């Protein structure tokens, strides 16, 4: 064929290929036709396209004509140093072999020899930017002299083929991306996704929007988005605020109740986003919202439950507490902790709360209380009682604790909780009931003995009957106070005031009575009240209460003695009294009672001094 005719033929081939490339979006179809056209034009009847794979480790016979089944789309060739294909790709220039029987530069793949290939030419295919896609390879089954025109034609063909392949690869990626996006948005049925135009009329209504709001695409498209807004929000122009905010700032929050087609409410958490083209023109709005109605309802139920629990805990006189099972640190303490433990919630919740709590417990009870906590962490339910020393008033209190585990959804102990109750009064009442009969019998016998002693001391010493009656009345007042305070205790201040008020007015500065509230037991009251009676009658006859010149101060405090026992320390102090020297060393019944009877019967420490100015008496009485 004349050279001019060959050139025209090849130009026609290029034009035909270009037309096909403009019409088709299928890469495999384009590559197959490229191989057919080039093999026909060069008269070889055989050609192929090799694509670089595995990051440059192999070549796939991607397309081709004239080959047996099992080659095209399936055969991989290693890119080793001795292949002409590898050399052409690395050198970025064509490689020609006119006769493989004389080829000593490269190794020819066995499948080409088996197919009868005698001559071939490799031309690299480059994508835009210089990236190498692979090779266009033309194969001949007999020796052939590929000339300069053949090489230039193939180079031109490969140059045209590269951008076509790049365009089709990008189109494939785009189609794949679009398909994934379509599948994603169609599967996201709990997300309402839809588009509206600049006037906020619905243009696209995806399946999730139909699932959430109930309107079909046919019903929704073309309507204003106001169909999903509550009447109150429409009245407040929330729909307009949303689009105007998105128009101005790019995005607007959409977190509120909406309305479904059937009129029911749905809570949406989402946003409205403005869509603009490259020059900033508003194209419309993208609206995405998640249906969180069930979650919000659950959160509301949880808040209501927590509020009920909070109100219950705030109102309960018993202490409700919760600890983290892993750390055993307090997570919650009800206000009753301040009454039961005598310390503030803030103080007990600070630092190592387990250690702070344990420090309040009596050392003898501490290990057992901690052991119960650890048992509950292992899943057990326990009850127990222990003693604490309350910091607010240094009192010993008995605490009854019920501990139980709180499990998570997997059955693991997540928290340790309990209810604590102050059972001190109940425990004391139970003890009182146990000894009530015996105490009454014992008290009766003691009372008879005291009366006999009074008679002996009063009448036997030629004292007037009035003194005997006065002492009986003092005992009567003590018994009355015992009855008032539960039959076996009486308050120190009440005993002192009752005795003094039987003889005089308690009016400062003449008479001062002051001290904390503290109770004595029945076994202490009788002797203590007689001692106060003797001090009072002595003050009336000879001391501070005899006339208007003297002053009397009766004060007491509560503390601890050298053995760590709680004790009440009372000071009876008279001032402004003229003391007759002849009476300083006189020892009457009252002084004997104070210095000997109290020490013997109540283990009290006493001191009685008739000093200048009046009687000075000190009584230290153990309370435990």
The Cα 355–Cα 426 span in angstroms is 28
With 0-12 CB in 10 A as exposed, 13-18 as middle and 19+ as buried, what is 614?
Answer: buried
pLDDT in tens, 199-215: 999 999 988 899 999 99
The Cα 173–Cα 25 span in angstroms is 12
Residues 6+ apart with CB under 8 A from 573: 552, 553, 554, 555, 614, 616, 617
What per-residue confidence (pLDDT) applies to 516? 94
Specify the higher pLDDT residue, 557 or 486. 557
What per-residue confidence (pLDDT) applies to 581? 62
What per-residue confidence (pLDDT) applies to 43? 86
pLDDT in tens, 593-624: 788 878 878 888 899 888 888 899 999 999 86
Sign, CA dihedral 41-42-43-45, equals: negative
Q: How confident is the model at residue 349 (pLDDT cuts 50, 70, 90)?
A: confident
pLDDT in tens, 531-555: 888 898 888 888 888 877 789 999 9
What per-residue confidence (pLDDT) applies to 176? 67
Specify the higher pLDDT residue, 175 or 57. 57
Q: How far is CA 67 from the centre of its chain?
A: 68
What per-residue confidence (pLDDT) applies to 437? 45
Q: How confident is the model at residue 219 (pLDDT cuts 50, 70, 90)?
A: very high
The Cα 232–Cα 240 span in angstroms is 13
The Cα 344–Cα 92 span in angstroms is 84
Residues 6+ apart with CB under 8 A from 206: 185, 186, 193, 194
Specify the higher pLDDT residue, 476 or 310. 310
Cβ count near 76 (within 10 Å) = 13
What per-residue confidence (pLDDT) applies to 164? 86
Specify the higher pLDDT residue, 189 or 136. 136
What per-residue confidence (pLDDT) applies to 101? 85
Strands 251-259 and 519-521: unpaired
The Cα 122–Cα 50 span in angstroms is 10
pLDDT in tens, 104-121: 888 888 898 888 999 999
Residue closest to 49 by CA, chosen among 68, 64, 36 = 64
Determine the average pLDDT of the residues in 275-291. Answer: 90
- How far are the Cα atoms of 263, 278, 319, 348, 399 from residue 339, in angstroms, in the given order? 53, 70, 9, 13, 12
Contact 94, 154 (CB under 8 A): yes
Cβ count near 492 (within 10 Å) = 24
Specify the higher pLDDT residue, 588 or 562. 562
Determine the average pLDDT of the residues in 50-69. Answer: 91
The answer on pLDDT for 479 being more than 60 is no
Three-class secondary structure of residue 400 per DSSP: strand
The model carries a pTM of 0.38
pLDDT in tens, 363-410: 999 899 888 888 888 888 998 899 988 888 888 889 888 888 988 888
Q: How confident is the model at residue 586 (pLDDT cuts 50, 70, 90)?
A: low
Write out the two tokens for 256.
């509120």
The Cα 415–Cα 417 span in angstroms is 6
Write out the two tokens for 301.
């139920």
Specify the higher pLDDT residue, 459 or 221. 221
The answer on pLDDT for 449 being more than 60 is no
235-241's contacts with Cβ under 8 Å and 24+ in sequence apart are: 239/200
What per-residue confidence (pLDDT) applies to 355? 87
Write out the two tokens for 613.
């100015």
The Cα 509–Cα 109 span in angstroms is 127
**Is residue 203 within a helix (H) or strand (E), and if so which, with residue range?**
strand 202-205
Q: Dmax over Cα atoms in the chain, in whole Å? A: 171
Residue 72: half-sphere exposure toward Cβ, Cα within 13 Å:
17
Determine the average pLDDT of the residues in 92-100. Answer: 89
Contact 520, 621 (CB under 8 A): yes
What per-residue confidence (pLDDT) applies to 441? 44
Share of the chain above pLDDT 70, in %: 84
The Cα 218–Cα 480 span in angstroms is 94
Q: Which of 110-119, 347-356, 478-487 has the highest mean pLDDT?
A: 110-119
CATH numbers and ranges of domains, the chain = 3-176 (3.30.450.40), 188-296 (3.30.450.20), 316-422 (3.30.450.20), 428-622 (3.30.565.10)
The dihedral region occupied by 194, where left means phi > 0, alpha psi between -120 and 50, and beta the remainder, is beta
What per-residue confidence (pLDDT) applies to 242? 92
Lowest-confidence region among 130-139, 278-287, 330-339, 612-621: 330-339
Contact 120, 99 (CB under 8 A): no
Helices (H), 460-521: 465-484, 492-501
The Cα 62–Cα 80 span in angstroms is 19
What per-residue confidence (pLDDT) applies to 439? 55
Q: How confident is the model at residue 190 (pLDDT cuts 50, 70, 90)?
A: confident
Write out the two tokens for 122.
């490799």
CA-angle at 25, arms to 22 and 31, nearest 5°: 85
Determine the average pLDDT of the residues in 457-462. Answer: 54
Determine the average pLDDT of the residues in 321-335. Answer: 86
The Cα 502–Cα 101 span in angstroms is 144
Write out the two tokens for 276.
């603009």
Q: How many residues does the chain have?
A: 624
The dihedral region occupied by 350, where left means phi > 0, alpha psi between -120 and 50, and beta the remainder, is beta
Residue closest to 391 by CA, chosen among 344, 343, 357 = 343
What per-residue confidence (pLDDT) applies to 196? 92
The Cα 491–Cα 529 span in angstroms is 11
What per-residue confidence (pLDDT) applies to 591? 79
What per-residue confidence (pLDDT) applies to 321? 83
């Amino acid at each position: 064929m004349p050279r001019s005719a060959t050139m025209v033929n090849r130009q026609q081939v290029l034009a035909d290929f270009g037309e096909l490339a403009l019409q088709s979006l299928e890469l495999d179809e384009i590559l197959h036709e490229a191989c057919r056209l080039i093999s026909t034009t060069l008269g070889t009847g055989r050609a192929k396209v090799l694509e670089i794979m595995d990051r440059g480790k192999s070549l796939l016979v991607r397309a081709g004509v004239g080959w047996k089944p099992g080659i095209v789309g399936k055969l991989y060739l290693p890119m080793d140093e001795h292949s002409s294909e590898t050399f052409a790709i690395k050198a970025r220039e064509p490689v020609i072999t006119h006769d493989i029987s004389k080829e000593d530069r490269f190794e020819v793949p066995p499948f080409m020899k088996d197919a009868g290939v005698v001559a071939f030419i490799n031309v690299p295919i480059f994508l835009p930017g210089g990236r190498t896609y692979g090779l266009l390879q033309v194969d001949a089954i007999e020796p052939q002299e590929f000339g300069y025109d053949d090489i230039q034609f193939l180079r031109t063909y490969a140059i045209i083929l590269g951008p076509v392949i790049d365009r089709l690869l990008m189109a494939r990626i785009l189609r794949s991306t679009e398909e994934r996006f379509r599948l994603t948005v169609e599967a996201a049925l709990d997300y309402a996704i839809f588009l509206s135009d600049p006037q906020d009329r619905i243009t696209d209504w995806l399946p999730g929007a139909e699932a959430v709001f109930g309107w079909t695409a046919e019903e929704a498209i073309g309507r204003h988005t106001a169909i999903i807004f509550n009447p109150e929000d429409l009245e407040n122009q929330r729909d307009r605020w949303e689009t105007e905010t998105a128009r101005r700032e790019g995005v607007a929050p959409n977190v509120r109740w909406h309305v479904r087609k059937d009129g029911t409410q749905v809570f949406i958490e989402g946003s409205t986003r403005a869509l603009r083209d490259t020059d900033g023109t508003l194209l419309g709005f993208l609206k995405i919202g998640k249906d969180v109605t069930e979650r919000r309802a659950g959160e509301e139920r949880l808040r209501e439950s927590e509020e009920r629990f909070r109100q219950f805990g705030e109102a309960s006189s018993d202490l409700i507490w919760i600890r983290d099972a892993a750390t055993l640190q307090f997570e919650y303490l009800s206000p009753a902790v301040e009454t039961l433990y005598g310390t503030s919630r803030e103080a007990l919740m600070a630092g190592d709360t387990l250690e702070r709590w344990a420090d309040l417990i009596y050392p003898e009870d501490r290990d057992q209380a901690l052991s119960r906590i650890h048992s509950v962490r292992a899943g057990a339910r326990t009850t127990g009682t222990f003693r604490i020393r309350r910091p607010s008033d240094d009192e010993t209190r008995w605490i009854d604790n019920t501990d139980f585990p709180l499990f998570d959804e997997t059955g693991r102990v997540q928290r340790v909780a309990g209810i604590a109750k102050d059972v001190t009064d109940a425990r004391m009442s139970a003890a009182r009931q146990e000894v009530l009969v015996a105490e009454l019998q014992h008290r009766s016998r003691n009372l008879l003995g005291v009366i006999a002693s009074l008679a002996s001391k009063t009448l036997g010493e030629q004292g007037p009957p009035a003194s005997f009656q006065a002492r009986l009345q003092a005992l009567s007042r003590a018994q009355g106070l015992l009855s008032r305070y539960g039959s076996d205790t009486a308050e120190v201040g009440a005993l002192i005031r009752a005795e003094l008020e039987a003889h005089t007015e308690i009016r400062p500065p003449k008479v001062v009575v002051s001290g904390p509230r503290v109770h004595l037991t029945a076994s202490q009251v009788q002797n203590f009240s007689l001692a106060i009676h003797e001090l009072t009658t002595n003050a009336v006859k000879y001391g501070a209460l005899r006339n208007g010149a003297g002053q009397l101060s009766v004060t007491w405090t509560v503390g601890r003695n050298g053995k760590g026992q709680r004790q009440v320390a009372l000071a009876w102090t008279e001032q402004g009294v003229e003391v007759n020297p002849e009476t300083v060393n006189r020892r009457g019944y009252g002084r004997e009672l104070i210095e000997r009877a109290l020490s013997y019967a109540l283990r009290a420490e006493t001191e009685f001094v008739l000093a200048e100015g009046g009687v000075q008496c000190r009584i230290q009485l153990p309370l435990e």
